[in-house]
Structure 1
Protein backbone atom coordinates (compact mmCIF):
# COMPACT_ATOMS: atom_id res chain seq x y z
CA UNK A 1 0.00 0.00 0.00
CA UNK A 2 1.42 3.44 -0.91
CA UNK A 3 1.71 6.39 1.50
CA UNK A 4 -0.86 8.21 -0.64
CA UNK A 5 -3.41 5.38 -0.32
CA UNK A 6 -2.86 5.29 3.44
CA UNK A 7 -3.61 9.01 3.63
CA UNK A 8 -6.80 8.58 1.61
CA UNK A 9 -7.91 5.69 3.81
CA UNK A 10 -7.34 7.74 6.95
CA UNK A 11 -9.25 10.78 5.70
CA UNK A 12 -12.43 9.19 4.30
CA UNK A 13 -14.51 6.76 6.37
CA UNK A 14 -18.11 5.64 6.77
CA UNK A 15 -19.07 6.05 3.13
CA UNK A 16 -21.00 2.75 3.13
CA UNK A 17 -22.37 2.93 6.65
CA UNK A 18 -25.48 0.76 7.01
CA UNK A 19 -25.20 -0.87 3.59
CA UNK A 20 -25.15 -4.63 2.99
CA UNK A 21 -22.92 -5.94 0.21
CA UNK A 22 -22.25 -9.28 -1.45
CA UNK A 23 -18.80 -9.57 -3.05
CA UNK A 24 -18.23 -12.68 -5.17
CA UNK A 25 -14.74 -14.08 -5.61
CA UNK A 26 -13.67 -12.20 -2.49
CA UNK A 27 -10.98 -14.42 -0.92
CA UNK A 28 -8.09 -13.13 -3.04
CA UNK A 29 -6.95 -10.20 -5.14
CA UNK A 30 -9.33 -7.44 -6.12
CA UNK A 31 -12.32 -9.12 -4.48
CA UNK A 32 -10.56 -9.38 -1.12
CA UNK A 33 -9.43 -5.75 -1.36
CA UNK A 34 -13.00 -4.65 -2.06
CA UNK A 35 -14.36 -6.68 0.87
CA UNK A 36 -11.76 -5.20 3.25
CA UNK A 37 -12.42 -1.63 2.16
CA UNK A 38 -16.20 -2.05 2.24
CA UNK A 39 -15.93 -3.20 5.86
CA UNK A 40 -13.66 -0.28 6.70
CA UNK A 41 -16.26 2.03 5.17
CA UNK A 42 -19.05 0.69 7.39
CA UNK A 43 -20.72 -1.94 5.21
CA UNK A 44 -21.77 -5.42 6.26
CA UNK A 45 -20.20 -7.82 3.79
CA UNK A 46 -20.87 -11.33 2.55
CA UNK A 47 -17.71 -13.00 1.27
CA UNK A 48 -17.99 -15.65 -1.42
CA UNK A 49 -15.83 -18.16 -3.27
CA UNK A 50 -16.45 -21.37 -5.18
CA UNK A 51 -14.33 -23.26 -2.65
CA UNK A 52 -13.64 -23.12 1.06
CA UNK A 53 -9.88 -23.53 0.92
CA UNK A 54 -6.87 -22.16 2.79
CA UNK A 55 -7.23 -18.68 1.30
CA UNK A 56 -10.91 -18.58 2.27
CA UNK A 57 -10.05 -19.68 5.80
CA UNK A 58 -7.40 -16.99 6.03
CA UNK A 59 -9.66 -14.10 5.00
CA UNK A 60 -12.51 -15.38 7.16
CA UNK A 61 -10.12 -15.29 10.13
CA UNK A 62 -9.02 -11.79 9.14
CA UNK A 63 -12.42 -10.24 8.45
CA UNK A 64 -14.96 -12.52 10.08
CA UNK A 65 -17.21 -10.69 12.54
CA UNK A 66 -20.85 -9.85 13.10
CA UNK A 67 -20.52 -7.59 10.05
CA UNK A 68 -18.95 -10.17 7.75
CA UNK A 69 -19.43 -13.83 6.94
CA UNK A 70 -18.52 -16.31 4.21
CA UNK A 71 -20.83 -18.33 1.96
CA UNK A 72 -19.37 -20.92 -0.39
CA UNK A 73 -20.92 -21.11 -3.85
CA UNK A 74 -19.87 -21.26 -7.49
CA UNK A 75 -21.22 -18.29 -9.46
CA UNK A 76 -21.71 -20.64 -12.42
CA UNK A 77 -24.39 -22.41 -10.34
CA UNK A 78 -27.59 -20.33 -10.41
CA UNK A 79 -29.11 -22.24 -7.49
CA UNK A 80 -26.01 -21.62 -5.38
CA UNK A 81 -26.23 -17.90 -6.05
CA UNK A 82 -29.91 -17.84 -5.08
CA UNK A 83 -28.86 -19.48 -1.83
CA UNK A 84 -26.18 -16.84 -1.24
CA UNK A 85 -28.78 -14.10 -1.61
CA UNK A 86 -31.33 -15.92 0.55
CA UNK A 87 -28.78 -16.41 3.33
CA UNK A 88 -27.74 -12.76 3.11
CA UNK A 89 -31.35 -11.61 3.41
CA UNK A 90 -31.92 -13.95 6.34
CA UNK A 91 -28.84 -12.59 8.13
CA UNK A 92 -28.96 -8.89 7.29
CA UNK A 93 -32.48 -8.29 5.94
CA UNK A 94 -31.48 -6.59 2.69
CA UNK A 95 -28.89 -6.33 -0.06
CA UNK A 96 -27.80 -2.83 -1.11
CA UNK A 97 -24.71 -3.67 -3.17
CA UNK A 98 -23.60 -6.58 -5.32
CA UNK A 99 -20.03 -6.77 -6.62
CA UNK A 100 -19.67 -9.40 -9.34
CA UNK A 101 -15.94 -9.93 -9.04
CA UNK A 102 -15.61 -13.72 -9.49
CA UNK A 103 -13.90 -14.58 -12.75
CA UNK A 104 -11.31 -16.74 -14.42
CA UNK A 105 -8.74 -16.39 -17.16
CA UNK A 106 -9.14 -18.63 -20.18
CA UNK A 107 -6.51 -17.94 -22.86
CA UNK A 108 -6.41 -20.41 -25.74
CA UNK A 109 -5.87 -20.78 -29.45
CA UNK A 110 -9.38 -20.45 -30.94
CA UNK A 111 -9.08 -23.63 -33.00
CA UNK A 112 -7.38 -25.68 -30.30
CA UNK A 113 -9.59 -24.59 -27.42
CA UNK A 114 -11.87 -27.28 -26.03
CA UNK A 115 -15.62 -26.92 -25.69
CA UNK A 116 -15.15 -27.20 -21.94
CA UNK A 117 -12.74 -24.23 -21.86
CA UNK A 118 -15.20 -22.08 -23.84
CA UNK A 119 -18.15 -23.06 -21.67
CA UNK A 120 -16.31 -22.58 -18.38
CA UNK A 121 -15.07 -19.13 -19.40
CA UNK A 122 -18.57 -17.91 -20.17
CA UNK A 123 -20.24 -19.74 -17.29
CA UNK A 124 -18.04 -17.87 -14.82
CA UNK A 125 -17.10 -14.56 -16.46
CA UNK A 126 -20.51 -13.74 -17.95
CA UNK A 127 -23.22 -16.10 -16.73
CA UNK A 128 -21.80 -15.97 -13.21
CA UNK A 129 -22.46 -12.24 -13.02
CA UNK A 130 -25.94 -12.74 -14.44
CA UNK A 131 -26.75 -15.59 -12.04
CA UNK A 132 -25.98 -13.47 -8.99
CA UNK A 133 -27.58 -10.35 -10.45
CA UNK A 134 -30.77 -12.22 -11.28
CA UNK A 135 -30.86 -13.59 -7.73
CA UNK A 136 -30.42 -10.19 -6.09
CA UNK A 137 -32.63 -8.04 -8.33
CA UNK A 138 -36.01 -8.94 -6.76
CA UNK A 139 -34.87 -7.77 -3.31
CA UNK A 140 -33.34 -4.59 -4.73
CA UNK A 141 -36.47 -3.83 -6.73
CA UNK A 142 -38.65 -4.33 -3.65
CA UNK A 143 -36.59 -1.81 -1.70
CA UNK A 144 -36.39 0.51 -4.72
CA UNK A 145 -32.61 0.89 -4.60
CA UNK A 146 -29.42 -0.99 -5.29
CA UNK A 147 -25.97 -0.76 -6.82
CA UNK A 148 -24.56 -3.60 -8.91
CA UNK A 149 -20.88 -3.42 -9.82
CA UNK A 150 -19.40 -5.81 -12.38
CA UNK A 151 -15.63 -6.27 -12.49
CA UNK A 152 -14.91 -6.36 -16.20
CA UNK A 153 -11.44 -5.83 -17.70
CA UNK A 154 -9.33 -3.75 -20.05
CA UNK A 155 -9.76 -6.85 -22.24
CA UNK A 156 -13.33 -5.65 -22.71
CA UNK A 157 -11.98 -2.56 -24.50
CA UNK A 158 -8.82 -3.63 -26.31
CA UNK A 159 -7.87 -6.97 -27.82
CA UNK A 160 -4.58 -8.53 -26.74
CA UNK A 161 -3.46 -11.36 -29.05
CA UNK A 162 -3.36 -14.81 -27.50
CA UNK A 163 -6.07 -14.12 -24.91
CA UNK A 164 -9.15 -15.60 -26.62
CA UNK A 165 -11.93 -16.16 -25.46
CA UNK A 166 -11.55 -14.04 -22.29
CA UNK A 167 -12.06 -10.70 -24.12
CA UNK A 168 -15.27 -11.99 -25.67
CA UNK A 169 -16.75 -12.65 -22.24
CA UNK A 170 -15.58 -9.29 -20.87
CA UNK A 171 -17.03 -7.36 -23.83
CA UNK A 172 -20.30 -9.16 -23.14
CA UNK A 173 -20.12 -8.31 -19.44
CA UNK A 174 -19.84 -4.61 -20.25
CA UNK A 175 -22.83 -5.02 -22.56
CA UNK A 176 -24.77 -6.71 -19.74
CA UNK A 177 -23.85 -3.79 -17.47
CA UNK A 178 -25.15 -1.17 -19.86
CA UNK A 179 -28.30 -3.07 -20.77
CA UNK A 180 -29.36 -3.81 -17.20
CA UNK A 181 -28.43 -0.30 -16.08
CA UNK A 182 -30.87 1.17 -18.58
CA UNK A 183 -33.50 -1.52 -17.98
CA UNK A 184 -33.81 -0.78 -14.26
CA UNK A 185 -32.70 2.86 -14.01
CA UNK A 186 -36.20 4.19 -13.35
CA UNK A 187 -36.67 1.68 -10.52
CA UNK A 188 -33.70 2.79 -8.47
CA UNK A 189 -31.13 0.22 -9.57
CA UNK A 190 -27.72 1.32 -10.83
CA UNK A 191 -25.50 -1.10 -12.76
CA UNK A 192 -21.92 -0.10 -13.52
CA UNK A 193 -18.68 -1.88 -14.27
CA UNK A 194 -15.00 -1.41 -13.56
CA UNK A 195 -12.36 -2.47 -16.08
CA UNK A 196 -9.00 -3.02 -14.38
CA UNK A 197 -5.78 -3.22 -16.34
CA UNK A 198 -2.67 -4.87 -14.92
CA UNK A 199 -3.17 -5.14 -11.14
CA UNK A 200 -0.70 -6.75 -8.74
CA UNK A 201 -2.92 -9.57 -7.47
CA UNK A 202 -1.70 -12.94 -6.23
CA UNK A 203 -2.38 -14.38 -9.68
CA UNK A 204 -0.17 -11.77 -11.34
CA UNK A 205 2.54 -12.31 -8.74
CA UNK A 206 2.46 -16.03 -9.55
CA UNK A 207 2.67 -15.27 -13.26
CA UNK A 208 5.72 -13.08 -12.74
CA UNK A 209 7.29 -15.81 -10.61
CA UNK A 210 6.84 -18.29 -13.46
CA UNK A 211 8.76 -16.11 -15.93
CA UNK A 212 12.42 -16.90 -16.71
CA UNK A 213 13.42 -13.51 -15.25
CA UNK A 214 10.61 -12.33 -12.92
CA UNK A 215 12.22 -8.99 -12.08
CA UNK A 216 12.87 -8.11 -15.71
CA UNK A 217 9.35 -9.10 -16.76
CA UNK A 218 7.76 -7.05 -14.00
CA UNK A 219 9.85 -4.05 -15.04
CA UNK A 220 8.92 -4.59 -18.69
CA UNK A 221 5.24 -4.63 -17.83
CA UNK A 222 5.57 -1.51 -15.68
CA UNK A 223 7.42 0.32 -18.45
CA UNK A 224 4.52 -0.32 -20.86
CA UNK A 225 2.23 1.72 -18.61
CA UNK A 226 2.21 5.53 -18.94
CA UNK A 227 2.51 5.86 -15.14
CA UNK A 228 5.42 3.36 -15.11
CA UNK A 229 3.98 1.25 -12.32
CA UNK A 230 1.55 -1.65 -11.88
CA UNK A 231 -1.78 -1.01 -10.17
CA UNK A 232 -2.75 -2.16 -6.69
CA UNK A 233 -5.95 -4.05 -5.78
CA UNK A 234 -6.93 -1.32 -3.34
CA UNK A 235 -6.96 1.21 -6.17
CA UNK A 236 -9.75 -0.78 -7.79
CA UNK A 237 -11.47 -1.15 -4.42
CA UNK A 238 -11.70 2.61 -3.90
CA UNK A 239 -13.60 2.94 -7.18
CA UNK A 240 -15.94 0.14 -6.10
CA UNK A 241 -16.59 2.00 -2.83
CA UNK A 242 -17.45 5.14 -4.79
CA UNK A 243 -19.84 3.31 -7.12
CA UNK A 244 -21.47 1.55 -4.17
CA UNK A 245 -21.95 4.78 -2.25
CA UNK A 246 -24.66 7.41 -2.55
CA UNK A 247 -21.99 9.76 -3.92
CA UNK A 248 -22.40 7.93 -7.26
CA UNK A 249 -26.21 8.02 -7.30
CA UNK A 250 -26.33 9.63 -10.78
CA UNK A 251 -23.78 7.25 -12.34
CA UNK A 252 -25.39 4.37 -14.20
CA UNK A 253 -24.74 2.01 -17.14
CA UNK A 254 -21.11 3.17 -17.17
CA UNK A 255 -17.74 1.42 -17.31
CA UNK A 256 -14.71 2.92 -15.56
CA UNK A 257 -11.24 1.96 -16.79
CA UNK A 258 -8.53 1.60 -14.14
CA UNK A 259 -5.43 0.86 -16.18
CA UNK A 260 -3.04 3.77 -15.64
CA UNK A 261 -3.93 5.12 -19.08
CA UNK A 262 -2.60 2.06 -20.90
CA UNK A 263 -5.63 1.57 -23.16
CA UNK A 264 -5.37 5.16 -24.45
CA UNK A 265 -1.72 4.91 -25.49
CA UNK A 266 -0.95 4.50 -29.17
CA UNK A 267 1.38 1.66 -30.11
CA UNK A 268 2.95 0.77 -33.45
Structure 2
Protein backbone atom coordinates (compact mmCIF):
# COMPACT_ATOMS: atom_id res chain seq x y z
CA UNK A 1 0.00 0.00 0.00
CA UNK A 2 1.59 3.32 -1.03
CA UNK A 3 0.92 6.62 0.69
CA UNK A 4 -1.33 7.94 -2.05
CA UNK A 5 -3.50 4.82 -1.89
CA UNK A 6 -4.44 5.30 1.75
CA UNK A 7 -7.72 7.06 2.43
CA UNK A 8 -7.21 9.27 5.48
CA UNK A 9 -10.90 10.07 5.76
CA UNK A 10 -12.98 8.36 8.43
CA UNK A 11 -14.19 4.96 7.26
CA UNK A 12 -16.14 3.89 10.30
CA UNK A 13 -13.97 0.76 10.44
CA UNK A 14 -11.70 -0.16 13.36
CA UNK A 15 -8.34 1.51 12.91
CA UNK A 16 -6.36 -1.74 12.65
CA UNK A 17 -8.93 -3.79 10.74
CA UNK A 18 -7.21 -6.61 8.88
CA UNK A 19 -3.80 -5.96 10.45
CA UNK A 20 -1.63 -8.62 12.11
CA UNK A 21 0.37 -7.50 15.13
CA UNK A 22 2.94 -9.20 17.33
CA UNK A 23 3.36 -7.72 20.80
CA UNK A 24 6.16 -8.74 23.15
CA UNK A 25 5.82 -8.42 26.91
CA UNK A 26 2.11 -8.90 26.30
CA UNK A 27 1.28 -10.75 29.51
CA UNK A 28 0.87 -7.70 31.73
CA UNK A 29 1.27 -3.94 32.12
CA UNK A 30 1.76 -1.81 29.04
CA UNK A 31 2.01 -4.83 26.75
CA UNK A 32 -1.37 -6.23 27.75
CA UNK A 33 -2.95 -2.76 27.51
CA UNK A 34 -1.66 -2.45 23.94
CA UNK A 35 -2.97 -5.93 23.14
CA UNK A 36 -6.43 -5.08 24.45
CA UNK A 37 -6.65 -1.82 22.50
CA UNK A 38 -5.31 -3.35 19.28
CA UNK A 39 -7.84 -6.20 19.49
CA UNK A 40 -10.68 -3.70 19.98
CA UNK A 41 -9.40 -1.86 16.92
CA UNK A 42 -9.60 -4.95 14.73
CA UNK A 43 -6.11 -6.46 14.80
CA UNK A 44 -5.36 -10.17 14.97
CA UNK A 45 -2.64 -10.72 17.54
CA UNK A 46 0.38 -12.79 18.41
CA UNK A 47 1.08 -12.26 22.11
CA UNK A 48 4.62 -13.10 23.22
CA UNK A 49 5.86 -13.26 26.79
CA UNK A 50 8.68 -14.97 28.65
CA UNK A 51 6.34 -17.91 29.19
CA UNK A 52 3.18 -18.49 27.21
CA UNK A 53 0.83 -18.70 30.22
CA UNK A 54 0.38 -14.94 30.95
CA UNK A 55 0.00 -14.15 27.25
CA UNK A 56 -2.47 -17.02 26.86
CA UNK A 57 -4.62 -15.66 29.70
CA UNK A 58 -4.72 -12.23 28.04
CA UNK A 59 -5.41 -13.81 24.66
CA UNK A 60 -8.30 -15.96 25.85
CA UNK A 61 -9.97 -12.93 27.39
CA UNK A 62 -9.52 -10.88 24.21
CA UNK A 63 -10.84 -13.61 21.93
CA UNK A 64 -13.94 -13.82 24.09
CA UNK A 65 -14.55 -10.08 24.27
CA UNK A 66 -13.51 -9.00 20.77
CA UNK A 67 -13.74 -12.10 18.59
CA UNK A 68 -10.28 -11.45 17.17
CA UNK A 69 -7.83 -14.22 16.35
CA UNK A 70 -5.15 -14.39 19.05
CA UNK A 71 -2.29 -16.79 19.61
CA UNK A 72 0.13 -16.87 22.53
CA UNK A 73 3.78 -17.91 22.39
CA UNK A 74 6.49 -18.10 25.01
CA UNK A 75 10.03 -16.90 24.31
CA UNK A 76 12.91 -15.16 26.02
CA UNK A 77 13.64 -12.23 23.71
CA UNK A 78 17.29 -12.27 24.78
CA UNK A 79 17.62 -15.61 22.97
CA UNK A 80 17.76 -15.28 19.19
CA UNK A 81 17.01 -19.00 18.87
CA UNK A 82 13.79 -18.72 20.90
CA UNK A 83 12.75 -15.55 19.09
CA UNK A 84 13.32 -17.06 15.66
CA UNK A 85 11.26 -20.12 16.60
CA UNK A 86 8.41 -18.00 17.99
CA UNK A 87 8.32 -15.77 14.92
CA UNK A 88 8.44 -18.74 12.57
CA UNK A 89 5.39 -20.16 14.37
CA UNK A 90 3.59 -16.82 14.20
CA UNK A 91 4.38 -16.21 10.54
CA UNK A 92 3.30 -19.71 9.61
CA UNK A 93 -0.02 -19.22 11.41
CA UNK A 94 -0.74 -15.66 10.28
CA UNK A 95 0.99 -15.54 6.91
CA UNK A 96 2.87 -12.36 7.77
CA UNK A 97 3.06 -9.45 10.20
CA UNK A 98 2.09 -5.85 9.67
CA UNK A 99 2.96 -4.50 13.13
CA UNK A 100 5.61 -5.30 15.73
CA UNK A 101 5.46 -3.83 19.24
CA UNK A 102 8.60 -4.40 21.31
CA UNK A 103 7.42 -4.06 24.90
CA UNK A 104 9.37 -6.81 26.68
CA UNK A 105 11.75 -5.36 29.24
CA UNK A 106 13.31 -5.72 32.66
CA UNK A 107 14.22 -3.14 35.31
CA UNK A 108 17.86 -3.29 36.36
CA UNK A 109 18.82 -0.40 38.67
CA UNK A 110 21.96 -0.06 40.77
CA UNK A 111 25.33 1.46 41.44
CA UNK A 112 27.67 1.24 38.42
CA UNK A 113 30.60 -0.26 40.34
CA UNK A 114 28.34 -2.76 42.07
CA UNK A 115 26.63 -3.87 38.87
CA UNK A 116 27.61 -7.45 38.13
CA UNK A 117 28.45 -8.69 34.66
CA UNK A 118 25.32 -10.84 34.89
CA UNK A 119 23.06 -7.84 35.63
CA UNK A 120 24.72 -5.79 32.89
CA UNK A 121 24.10 -8.52 30.35
CA UNK A 122 20.54 -9.18 31.59
CA UNK A 123 19.69 -5.50 31.16
CA UNK A 124 21.22 -5.06 27.72
CA UNK A 125 20.21 -8.48 26.41
CA UNK A 126 16.52 -8.00 27.24
CA UNK A 127 15.96 -4.27 26.79
CA UNK A 128 18.10 -3.68 23.70
CA UNK A 129 19.30 -6.87 22.06
CA UNK A 130 15.89 -8.47 22.60
CA UNK A 131 14.21 -5.75 20.56
CA UNK A 132 16.78 -6.24 17.79
CA UNK A 133 16.18 -9.99 17.78
CA UNK A 134 12.45 -9.40 17.23
CA UNK A 135 12.94 -6.74 14.58
CA UNK A 136 15.41 -8.91 12.72
CA UNK A 137 12.92 -11.79 12.77
CA UNK A 138 10.04 -9.58 11.56
CA UNK A 139 11.84 -7.62 8.85
CA UNK A 140 12.04 -10.22 6.05
CA UNK A 141 8.26 -10.66 5.79
CA UNK A 142 7.67 -6.91 6.17
CA UNK A 143 10.22 -6.12 3.48
CA UNK A 144 8.66 -8.71 1.18
CA UNK A 145 5.34 -6.89 1.57
CA UNK A 146 6.95 -3.41 1.45
CA UNK A 147 4.86 -2.63 4.54
CA UNK A 148 5.47 -2.69 8.27
CA UNK A 149 5.15 -0.55 11.39
CA UNK A 150 7.50 -1.17 14.33
CA UNK A 151 7.09 0.53 17.71
CA UNK A 152 9.70 0.08 20.44
CA UNK A 153 8.76 0.85 24.04
CA UNK A 154 11.75 2.81 25.32
CA UNK A 155 11.68 4.98 28.46
CA UNK A 156 12.12 8.47 29.84
CA UNK A 157 15.40 6.96 31.10
CA UNK A 158 16.49 7.17 27.46
CA UNK A 159 16.32 10.97 27.75
CA UNK A 160 17.15 11.87 31.33
CA UNK A 161 19.49 10.25 33.83
CA UNK A 162 18.30 9.32 37.33
CA UNK A 163 21.16 8.52 39.73
CA UNK A 164 21.10 4.94 40.96
CA UNK A 165 19.29 3.65 37.87
CA UNK A 166 22.34 2.26 36.03
CA UNK A 167 22.51 0.40 33.60
CA UNK A 168 18.85 0.74 32.54
CA UNK A 169 19.37 4.15 30.85
CA UNK A 170 22.21 2.71 28.77
CA UNK A 171 19.86 0.14 27.25
CA UNK A 172 17.05 2.63 26.67
CA UNK A 173 19.35 5.20 25.04
CA UNK A 174 20.49 2.35 22.79
CA UNK A 175 16.90 1.38 21.98
CA UNK A 176 16.12 4.92 20.85
CA UNK A 177 19.29 4.83 18.74
CA UNK A 178 18.21 1.52 17.23
CA UNK A 179 14.82 3.04 16.43
CA UNK A 180 16.33 5.99 14.59
CA UNK A 181 18.94 3.94 12.76
CA UNK A 182 16.53 1.31 11.44
CA UNK A 183 13.83 3.85 10.70
CA UNK A 184 16.17 5.59 8.30
CA UNK A 185 17.66 2.36 6.94
CA UNK A 186 14.30 0.98 5.78
CA UNK A 187 12.20 4.11 5.22
CA UNK A 188 12.28 3.85 1.42
CA UNK A 189 11.18 0.21 1.59
CA UNK A 190 7.85 0.76 3.33
CA UNK A 191 8.96 0.18 6.93
CA UNK A 192 8.52 2.70 9.73
CA UNK A 193 10.30 2.38 13.10
CA UNK A 194 9.36 4.63 16.02
CA UNK A 195 9.59 4.47 19.79
CA UNK A 196 7.64 5.60 22.82
CA UNK A 197 9.30 6.73 26.05
CA UNK A 198 6.93 6.35 29.00
CA UNK A 199 7.61 8.01 32.32
CA UNK A 200 6.10 6.68 35.53
CA UNK A 201 3.20 4.43 34.54
CA UNK A 202 1.09 2.42 36.99
CA UNK A 203 2.23 -1.04 35.89
CA UNK A 204 2.65 -4.14 38.06
CA UNK A 205 6.37 -3.29 38.31
CA UNK A 206 5.55 0.21 39.60
CA UNK A 207 3.07 -1.25 42.06
CA UNK A 208 5.73 -3.64 43.35
CA UNK A 209 8.05 -0.68 43.89
CA UNK A 210 5.42 1.22 45.86
CA UNK A 211 4.64 -1.83 47.97
CA UNK A 212 8.34 -2.19 48.82
CA UNK A 213 8.37 1.29 50.38
CA UNK A 214 7.82 1.76 54.14
CA UNK A 215 4.72 3.85 53.38
CA UNK A 216 3.39 2.89 49.91
CA UNK A 217 0.66 5.53 49.83
CA UNK A 218 3.03 8.31 50.89
CA UNK A 219 5.48 7.32 48.17
CA UNK A 220 2.68 7.17 45.63
CA UNK A 221 1.60 10.70 46.56
CA UNK A 222 5.20 11.91 46.45
CA UNK A 223 5.76 10.54 42.95
CA UNK A 224 2.49 12.01 41.72
CA UNK A 225 3.44 15.42 43.11
CA UNK A 226 6.69 15.36 41.11
CA UNK A 227 4.67 15.26 37.90
CA UNK A 228 3.33 18.52 36.43
CA UNK A 229 -0.08 16.88 35.93
CA UNK A 230 -0.04 15.63 39.57
CA UNK A 231 -0.96 12.07 38.68
CA UNK A 232 0.73 8.87 37.58
CA UNK A 233 0.21 7.64 34.03
CA UNK A 234 -1.85 4.61 33.07
CA UNK A 235 -0.91 1.77 30.68
CA UNK A 236 -3.80 2.54 28.32
CA UNK A 237 -2.41 6.05 27.77
CA UNK A 238 0.76 4.49 26.36
CA UNK A 239 -1.38 2.05 24.37
CA UNK A 240 -3.18 4.86 22.55
CA UNK A 241 0.15 6.34 21.46
CA UNK A 242 1.21 2.91 20.20
CA UNK A 243 -2.08 2.60 18.32
CA UNK A 244 -1.46 5.89 16.52
CA UNK A 245 2.16 5.09 15.63
CA UNK A 246 1.27 1.57 14.47
CA UNK A 247 -1.54 2.76 12.20
CA UNK A 248 -1.61 4.30 8.77
CA UNK A 249 -2.65 7.67 10.19
CA UNK A 250 1.01 8.09 11.21
CA UNK A 251 2.54 7.12 7.86
CA UNK A 252 4.78 10.22 7.74
CA UNK A 253 6.13 9.71 11.27
CA UNK A 254 9.34 7.71 11.25
CA UNK A 255 12.60 7.31 13.21
CA UNK A 256 11.31 9.39 16.10
CA UNK A 257 10.54 8.99 19.80
CA UNK A 258 7.41 10.14 21.63
CA UNK A 259 7.70 11.05 25.30
CA UNK A 260 4.74 10.13 27.49
CA UNK A 261 5.69 11.36 30.95
CA UNK A 262 3.20 14.07 31.88
CA UNK A 263 5.83 16.72 31.12
CA UNK A 264 8.17 15.60 33.90
CA UNK A 265 11.31 15.44 31.73
CA UNK A 266 10.94 19.10 30.74
CA UNK A 267 11.51 20.36 34.29
CA UNK A 268 15.04 21.61 34.97
CA UNK A 269 14.74 20.89 38.70
CA UNK A 270 12.19 21.07 41.49
Tell whether the structures are fold-level matches, with TM greater than 0.5. Answer: yes
Q: Name the structure 2 match of 1:19.
A: 19
Q: Name the structure 2 match of 1:234.
A: 236
Q: Name the structure 2 match of 1:172.
A: 174
Deviation, 1:112, is 1.1
CA RMSD for the aligned pairs?
Answer: 1.3
Q: Name the structure 2 match of 1:105.
A: 107
Q: Name the structure 1 match of 2:92.
A: 90
Counting only pairs closer than 5 Å after superposition, residues 1-268 of structure 1 correspond to structure 2 as: 14-53=14-53, 55-64=54-63, 67-267=69-269
Deviation, 1:150, is 0.3
Q: How far apart, in 2, do the equivalents of 1:66 and 1:170 lie? A: 32
Deviation, 1:57, is 4.6
Q: How far apart, in 2, do the equivalents of 1:219 and 1:154 lie? A: 20
Q: Name the structure 2 match of 1:8.
A: none
Contact 2:39 2:68 (8 Å CA) reproduced: no
Q: How far apart, in 1, do the equivalents of 2:23 and 2:57 lie? A: 16
Secondary structure of 1:30's match?
Answer: helix
Deviation, 1:59, is 1.7
Structure 1 unaligned residues grouped into runs of 5+:
1-11
Deviation, 1:62, is 1.4
Q: How far apart, in 2, do the equivalents of 1:204 and 1:250 lie? A: 33
Contact 2:62 2:68 (8 Å CA) reproduced: no
The TM-score normalised by the length of structure 1 is 0.93
State the aligned residue count.
256
The TM-score normalised by the length of structure 2 is 0.92
For residues 174-204 of structure 1, the C-alpha deviation after alignment (integer angstroms, 9 at most, x for no partner) is 0000000000000000000000000001111
Deviation, 1:13, is 6.2
Contact 2:101 2:150 (8 Å CA) reproduced: yes
Deviation, 1:79, is 1.6
Runs of 4+ in 1 over 4 A off after TM superposition: none
